[in-house]
Amino acid sequence: MASRTDVSACHAKILVLVLHGDKMLLASQTRYPQQSYALLQGSLQQGEQQHEAVARISQEQAGVAVDRSSIARLDNQSDTFSVQTSQPTQADGASGLKLLQGKAWDCANEVRLKGHEVDAVLGNPSPPLQVNEALLADAKWFNKRWLMAFNQGTAPKSPFSFFPGESSEARRTITSWLDQVKSESPLDLIPDVAIETGVFKYVLLVVTDTQEGRSKLIVRGDRQSGYHMDVYEKTVRELSPYKLHVAEPLGGGRIRHDDGSKAINIYGYSSAYGQAPHDLSAAIVRQWYPMYAPDKITVSYEGY
């Protein structure tokens, strides 16, 4: 009988956990229910080594090049491997406010946005995916905080049942990774985005965990708030149990959200706080609405 490592004599199925910073690649297999997302998976080919199969599956199914030196078997009881992408953080060396252009750069300067706050959102872009439609129905990058929120039932409502069954190896792998990357900071407990449907005012905010010295940008907006200041004050009340510092908004504007067509338009300005760099707000919203096509989340610096 062939052993586990005798790959020339067997075609064992392997699972591949592809990571890019704090994002995980999940895919919907063509042979499984279309509304389920899980890890990449494939079989070892004749004479193929396991690390070769991990790199091939990632490239063949999703068009993602990986760092072969990062390939690691997650445990001795399963053929599940983790691997990091090979894409550098920023090939052109740009960072901070230099990641913004045009009107977004102007707005960021006006509201005194800090470079590290921009880096946290735009500084590590996900590698583009080339989905092999013969093997996958779809593939997407999912941010760790969105995955945590979805697992807890606090992410935006969706008709998709993302995770595989609780008893599956893929589910255990996803849950184990989320346990490893989570922190004790309340920053990981609050949604990056909280918006409604319809048209409403929004603000871009930075919230800080003063005990850990960490912060993150969040987007807040709702139809009940008549003024941008109302959105801000409501957010301060919402986050008061977490003992986070909520600074004055880094600008604002309006959002038009049509969940039927899965489209979000961010535009306008705030008389009280100035115009937010909507491109940055849109980048945050795209991570929180992964099932919306990126080009359906648009920005405009016109209008009120």
- Active-site amino acid positions: 228
C-alpha pair distances (Å), 4 with each of 47, 78, 94, 121, 302: 13, 10, 45, 41, 61
Residues pairing with 82 in the sheet: 17, 72
Calpha distance 186→209 (Å, rounded): 7
What single-letter DSSP state applies at residue 204? Answer: E
Strand (E) or helix (H) holding 137 = strand 136-143
The residue written with tokens 């060396």 in the block is 93
Measured in residues, the chain has a length of 304
The C-alpha angle 188, 25, 38, rounded to 5 degrees, equals 95
Strand (E) or helix (H) holding 299 = strand 297-299
Burial category of 5 from C-beta neighbours within 10 Å (exposed 0-12, middle 13-18, buried 19 and up): exposed
Bridging pattern class, strands 263-267 and 245-246: unpaired
| Buried-exposed string 40-53: b where 16+ CB fall within 10 A, e elsewhere | bbbebeeeeebbeb
